[in-house]
Amino acid sequence: MKLHEYQAKRLFADFGISIPKGRVASNANQVKEIANELGCPVVIKSQVLVGGRGKAGGIRLAKTSKEAKEFATKILGTEIKGLPVKNVLVDEAIDIKQEIYFGIVNDRTMRKPVLMASSEGGIEIEELALRNPEKIFKIYINPLIGLRDYQIKNLASSMDLPKSLWKEFINTANGLWALFNSIDATLAEINPLVITKDDRIIALDGKMIIDDNAIFRQPMISDMRDVDIEEPEEVEARKFSLSYIKLDGEIGCMVNGAGLAMATMDIIKEFGGNPANFLDIGGGASADKVAAALKIILSDKSVKAILINIFGGITRCDEVAKGILLALEDVNTTMPIVVRLTGTNDQEGLKILQEANLDAAESLVDCAKKAIQRSKGE
Ligand code: GDP
Ligand code: MN
């Protein structure tokens, strides 16, 4: 789960990291009020969960509160990179001397969190990694020992950070690490972390991703979830504990098991189709859960045919077949559906499908080919 900049910055402040004074607003009059309160110039920042808002026209410096209101009127309700701008953050403008990249992310290969910093901040880390990889400095953090001051000092020294700023830099690093740990983050990024003209260190931007598998023990974070900006199908899937990810193809997929789902998507691609989604109903799914999954796929307008691939183990094929019929009782559709059932209770399942005149396939290859043909109306 991703946090908006204004949410990340509030957490930064809670952990002793300096942020600009500012508040979030959802209408232009509020923006004007806040600008007057803070004193101009102010920066108006669209709160959308995507990087590079600056370049996309989502961030503007306003010299007067009138200008702030004008820009807010223009930007609120529009889209930045396809995402709706519902809120803007109004921050006091900061005089920047230098922009630093500063972030902590889990390094899966090293099996440790890594703190990365670079004095070439402001641009996205992926771009920086391509352009100037030697300018990114890394510290691996042993999760049992934590981040130590000597490591941060080494980093400050590699980055040629003036000694006078080290105390604040150490404070920022420790704050971000404590935050990363306490909310089960997989990414905590400040880009840019700036050195101001009057030599303070301030987090000008904030990006946080929280591990979805830990959300159950982070009630404060889950309350911050912005469901309006998520795909409605993904919101629905979460209710039924389904792993669902929307993709941009035309073949809807329902599969049990993540590995099988990946293999299924590969086969679809192999025969020239494109999966519309990844959907894993998990092991031992009940008919209700199968029905919910199928309804989610059916609600996706880009789906032209559905492929259901079930390898019965603890999942019972007859239960899956019942779930398919359950969904079709509720939703009136002419959508072509091709099903492959094999394993536990497959004969019972196939019988149910036959009685309902549903299309069954012998093998996965056969199933994929059929689904692709049907998606083209053949
Ligand atoms: P992003 O483009 O979505 O990453 O948004 P950022 O919050 O990182 O802002 C992009 C850029 O706008 C920053 O790298 C800064 O150069 C600039 N910027 C943002 N806030 C301020 C500010 O208060 N003062 C000044 N001078 N520039 C700012
Ligand atoms: Mn940024």
CA of 51 to the centre of ligand 2 (A): 6
Are 338 and 359 spatial neighbours (Cβ–Cβ below 8 Å)?
yes
Verify that 265 and 137 share a domain, yes or no: no
Q: Which of 67, 101, 250, 319 is catalytic?
A: 101
* Pocket mutation for ligand 1, best pick of 96, 100, 191, 202 (most atoms within 8 Å of C-beta): 96
> 65 in a domain, yes or no?
yes
CA of 49 to the centre of ligand 1 (A): 15
Q: What is the pLDDT of residues 29-60, one digit of tens each?
A: 999 999 999 999 999 999 999 888 999 999 99
CA of 54 to the centre of ligand 1 (A): 6
Verify that 194 and 134 share a domain, yes or no: yes
Q: Give residue 249's pLDDT.
A: 96
Domain end marker among 92, 113, 137: 92
**Pocket lined around ligand 1, Cβ cut-off 6 Å:** 43, 45, 51-54, 59, 91, 93-94, 96, 99, 122, 191-192, 204-205
The rounded mean pLDDT for the chain is 94
Q: How far apart are the first and last CA of the chain?
A: 40
Nearest Cα neighbor of 82 from 49, 55, 127, 43 is: 49
Lowest model confidence (mean pLDDT) among 14-23, 37-46, 219-228, 346-355: 219-228
Nearest CA owner, ligand 1 atom 16:
122
> 126 in a domain, yes or no?
yes
For residue 54, which ligand has an atom nearest its CA? 1
Nearest Cα neighbor of 184 from 167, 149, 208 is: 208
Domain that holds residue 81: 21-92
Are 241 and 296 spatial neighbours (Cβ–Cβ below 8 Å)?
no
> 129 in a domain, yes or no?
yes
> What pTM was estimated for this model as a whole?
0.78
CATH number at residue 38: 3.30.1490.20
> 321 in a domain, yes or no?
yes
CA distance 109 to 118: 21
Quick count: other Cβ atoms within 10 Å of Cβ 153? 16
Are 340 and 367 spatial neighbours (Cβ–Cβ below 8 Å)?
yes
The tokens describing 346, both together, are 């497959």
Confidence of residue 276 (pLDDT cuts 50, 70, 90): very high
Verify that 50 and 155 share a domain, yes or no: no
Verify that 61 and 121 share a domain, yes or no: no
Q: Give residue 51's pLDDT.
A: 87
Please say if 244 is a catalytic residue. Answer: no
Q: What is the pLDDT of residues 118-177, one digit of tens each?
A: 999 888 888 889 998 999 999 999 999 999 999 999 999 999 999 999 999 999 999 999
Verify that 117 and 79 share a domain, yes or no: no
Verify that 176 and 286 share a domain, yes or no: no
Quick count: other Cβ atoms within 10 Å of Cβ 314? 11
Please say if 140 is a catalytic residue. Answer: no
Verify that 138 and 34 share a domain, yes or no: no
Domain end marker among 92, 117, 137: 92
CATH number at residue 360: 3.40.50.261
Q: What is the pLDDT of residues 217-270, one digit of tens each?
A: 999 998 888 776 677 788 889 889 899 999 999 999 999 999 999 999 999 999
CA of 77 to the centre of ligand 1 (A): 21
CA 96 to ligand 1: nearest atom:
26
Q: Give the amino acid at 223.
A: D
